[in-house]
Amino acid sequence: MDEVLINIHDNTGAIAQKGFGLPLIFDPNNNLVYQEVTDISQISGVAAGDLAYDQANIILGQEPKPEKVAIYGFDISAVDATFTTIGEALDDLITRRNDWYWGVLASRVDADITAFSDWIASKAKVGAAQLDIAKTPTEIETFMAGMSNQRMAIFAHDGGIDTEDQFLAAGTVGRIAALVPGSYTVKFKTINTVASTTYQEADITTILNADCNTYVNNMGEDYISEGKLSNGDFIDTQVAKDWISARYREGIFKLLKDNEKIAFDDSGIAQVVSVIKSVNKQAASNGMVAQDGDGNYIMSVKYPRRADIPDNDRANRIVSGLKSSVTLAGAIHRAEVDFYLEI
């Protein structure tokens, strides 16, 4: 049921509150009971050397780090499997456990990544997956050509100087999941225990132009570049949109649920508007909202009076015509300076 419907009109281009800080690792090759752990010693069903375990290890090894990480697995290839696709297994999971936002895939298989991406595309979540270490930049480019999802981030890593598997996708989620939405950009984040890649500069350009993320070294610093989703949007932008939408939904629902009733008149509409403005104010405090030259946040809320609402909507007790506009602050990733030297 949708007592509160939030229509997002996204002009930016290319969950429960705690959910934004909770990552889920999904393993499509092992049957793992759903578990939430704060330490790797609590993990059951997998061990060091298993991808799901190693991903949990790096997530919990970041600073800051999420309070906990969820792990769930279902072997979709088993002969007697109840679910035979990643989508079926996850659809079943979210009927019971849906209080997570970040989805990390414990598989490097192209077909699994595509299936996971297809599933998460219609969910209010963000997914992350890493391509196989052996993929060349050209192969990465080819794979990404068929991947355009505003909710899926793909990562590539060649193993670094020692050609050892690195868990960049999981580490990235671990690094940012604990942060307040709107307060960060993914680019420039350093991931604990992840070595920089040894891709040549031209290869890095190929990977980044394909909207795939990788790990680079510049000026002696290792960091993520570019922090994008596979459709070219930035990860933090999607998180901000999801956060605002979720807060609207929660706030308005709480208003309607916690009161005996909210009258369908101008005073009642004002209470709904107050919730929206409160969320916008919190978003601004989190760093999500841009400021104009005078330091004012670029956001507004437009709303109708009772008399302006269509008769049919009034009869059905629907307050329509509420419009909230927020200009996201984004982040600076590059600076271009014209330097003129004269003698």
Task: Give buried/exposed letters for 90-125 (b at 16+ CB in 10 A, else e).
Answer: beebeeeeeebbbbbbbbbebebbbbbbebbbebbb
How many helices, marked H, and strands, marked E, lie in the chain?
9, 10
Helix axes 137-145, 201-209, angle to 10 degrees: 10
pTM: 0.92
Give the pLDDT confidence score for residue 18 in this predicted structure: 55
Spell out the domain ranges in the chain: 17-235, 259-326
Strands 32-37 and 69-73, sheet pairing: antiparallel
State the residue for tokens 């299936």: 115
> Which helix or strand (DSSP H or E) is residue 272 part of?
helix 266-285
How far is 245 from 5, CA to CA, in rounded Å?
9
Torsions phi, psi for 207 (to 5 deg)? -65, -45
How far is 155 from 169, CA to CA, in rounded Å?
6
Residue 209 identity (one-letter amino acid):
N
User: If you ran DSSP here, which 8-state letter would residue 293 be given?
Assistant: T
For residue range 136-188, list pLDDT tens digits in order: 999 999 999 999 999 999 999 999 999 999 999 999 999 999 999 999 999 99
Which stretches of the chain score pLDDT less than 50? 11-17
**Closest to 207 in 3D by CA, of 130, 108, 150:** 130
Per-position DSSP letters for 44-100, written without gaps between them: -S--TTSHHHHHHHHHTTSSS--S-EEEEE--TTSTT-S--SHHHHHHHHHTT----
Burial class (CB in 10 A: 0-12, 13-18, 19+), 174: buried
